[in-house]
């Protein structure tokens, strides 16, 4: 049995622009792997391609190019023109969507929302077994049997997200894409949901791709973190390594933006404010995608795309000026 549960190589997801020959390069040549039983965090600002990466991996959107391998089986390979039937893998791979208000059918009861997956995959022999399973799933996410007969509009945001998690768990998956599952929730509820994800992972031996734009949340739950910018993976490392020894200027800026509770530490921290706006993915910059906002950019950055390479054990980065970036002192502590 391989240590890698999921292996992504050269993933690309381009969308055509209506009335034009141009394309939106939402995900552009992204490669990473996820170990069995770990949580891999994916961070970056809005529009960088995090959600598109997660949905492309599950083939909810067919990738433009690349290779997706799950547990040793090739699900997609653009070069060899392989497109595996995904139905058997839907039980193994699930997703928890970002918006708990939009991801639940308002015309279905919570019991039917959770039970739909049980029906599709024929996992229950009769109605009683189905109901028992639904109640068990509700209990696992902190809800009770009475909630099965209610409709989504009767629940708070946190409760709806718990229903979404129960739905994902219904088919007993191995791998779950958590697509910003706490961003629409109150801060106090966020902590409860994140802790529940950790408890479920330990109890059910789950593997997560945890997508978020809040670096402190990702750092709390993730074993390794990948940082995306404008469709590209710019840095990848273990959580502590990324926080304490970030190498890419964009990662350093993200870390410096994390709020710090201690006012003395906050005053001594150096905030790195990026200039300009994120370029359009329809017309990205030549060379390094980050060069238009990078304080170290030069002619080489404009003409050559930096290689995403290993700079230390398990630490990958794509930057021409690692020596300059490494001297930057953000003064920012590890997020909590």
Provide the token pair at 153. Answer: 């509009």
The pLDDT value recorded for residue 335 is 46
pLDDT mean values, one per 10 residues, the chain (336 residues): 89 93 93 97 93 96 97 96 94 93 94 95 93 96 94 94 96 96 87 93 96 90 96 96 93 86 71 83 92 92 94 94 72 45
Provide the token pair at 332. Answer: 């920012």
For the chain, the domains span 36-58+85-92+173-326
Q: Which strands, in side-by-side order, build the sheet including 73-77? A: 23-35, 4-16, 65-70, 73-77, 82-83
Say how far apart CA 200 and CA 193 lie, in whole Å.
10
Q: What is the pTM of this model?
A: 0.92
Say how far apart CA 141 and CA 270 lie, in whole Å.
40
Please name the CATH architecture into which domain 36-58+85-92+173-326 falls.
Answer: 3-Layer(aba) Sandwich (3.40)
The pLDDT value recorded for residue 1 is 58
For residue 27, the SS3 value is: strand
3-state percent helix, strand, coil for the chain, nearest multiple of 5: 35, 25, 40
The pLDDT value recorded for residue 327 is 66
Say how far apart CA 136 and CA 151 lie, in whole Å.
18
* Dihedral angle sign, alpha carbons of residues 283, 287, 289, 294: negative
Give Cα 266 to chain centroid, integer Å.
28
Provide the token pair at 68. Answer: 């997706």
């Amino acid at each position: 049995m391989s240590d890698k549960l999921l292996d992504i190589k050269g993933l690309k997801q381009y969308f055509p622009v209506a009335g034009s020959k141009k394309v939106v390069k939402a995900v552009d040549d992204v490669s990473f792997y996820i170990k069995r039983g770990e949580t891999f965090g994916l961070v970056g600002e809005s529009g960088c391609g995090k959600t598109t990466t997660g949905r492309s991996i599950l083939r909810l959107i067919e990738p433009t190019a690349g290779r997706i391998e799950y547990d040793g089986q090739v699900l997609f390979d653009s070069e060899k023109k392989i497109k595996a039937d995904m139905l058997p893998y839907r039980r193994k791979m699930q997703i928890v969507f970002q918006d708990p208000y939009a991801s639940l059918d308002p015309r279905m009861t919570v019991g039917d929302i959770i039970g739909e997956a049980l029906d599709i995959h024929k996992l229950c022999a009769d109605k009683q077994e189905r109901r028992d399973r639904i109640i068990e799933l509700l209990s696992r996410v902190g809800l009770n049997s009475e909630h099965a007969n209610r409709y989504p509009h009767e629940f708070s945001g946190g409760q709806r997200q718990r229903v979404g998690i129960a739905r994902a768990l219904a088919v007993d998956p191995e791998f779950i894409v958590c697509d910003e599952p706490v961003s629409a929730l109150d801060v106090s509820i966020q902590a409860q949901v994140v802790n529940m994800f950790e408890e479920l992972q330990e109890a059910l031996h789950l593997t997560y791709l945890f997508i978020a734009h809040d670096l402190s949340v990702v750092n709390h739950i993730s074993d390794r973190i990948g940082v995306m910018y404008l469709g590209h993976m710019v840095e990848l490392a273990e959580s502590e390594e990324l926080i304490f020894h970030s190498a890419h200027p964009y990662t350093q800026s993200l870390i410096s933006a994390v709020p710090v509770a201690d006012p003395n530490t906050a005053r001594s921290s150096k905030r790195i404010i990026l200039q300009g706006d994120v370029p359009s993915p329809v017309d990205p910059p030549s060379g390094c995608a980050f060069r238009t906002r990078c304080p170290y950019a030069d002619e080489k950055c404009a003409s050559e795309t930096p290689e995403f390479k290993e700079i230390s054990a398990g630490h990958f980065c794509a930057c021409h000026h690692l020596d300059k970036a490494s001297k930057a002192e953000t003064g920012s502590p590890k997020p909590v």
